[in-house]
Chain A
Amino acid sequence: EVVMTQSPLSLPVTLGQPASISCTSSQGLVHSDGNTYLNWFQQRPGQSPRRLLYQVSKRDSEVPDRFSGSGSGTDFTLKISRVEAEDVGVYYCMQGTDWPPITFGQGTRLEI
């Protein structure tokens, strides 16, 4: 099973400032088809998860461009260039390269 480890687990931020969340996998996430199936999700308080990024860095539709993803191999990062109030919530990384099982990180709580 691929273990996904996020850090930090809690991230206090200031409005307008950047934020960064790290996600490390216990093994490389490059699939045999050449793609890396590493996704990022946002879960606002009281809401369902929403996918922000897929295959490391591809933004889903209507996701603001202040969200970006990077990384390769076992180390990945979600960056928010300038935090806004609506970004408060919990962020999860997820790997879909080596499954079953599909595995999620523990979640990082972003708070203002």
Chain B
Amino acid sequence: QQQVKQSPQSLIVQKGGISIINCAYENTAFDYFPWYQQFPGKGPALLIAIRPDVSEKKEGRFTISFNKSAKQFSLHIMDSQPGDSATYFCAASKGGGSQGNLIFGKGTKLSVKP
């Protein structure tokens, strides 16, 4: 049973456009939602993360929107650049003294065309 569903599987955006990647989760015990960026042959890099007590978090061109009632969260990349071309993974985790294991979505391959 997939606990974190991510869409789309792939995304092509023109330079300067907005990239939007969506994730939905099932387990209401999740309380930490990070996004990771991964370039080919490299390890995932933590991009931005949010907790359920806020509905939006922005860091530079990257914004997470969080809808607790719908159990959905999304990553928006503003002014997308060719250097943003990578695979993006959303994830969810239970913290608060537990093991904090990350449950990953299946990933979205983003291509930003010049």
A interacts with B: no
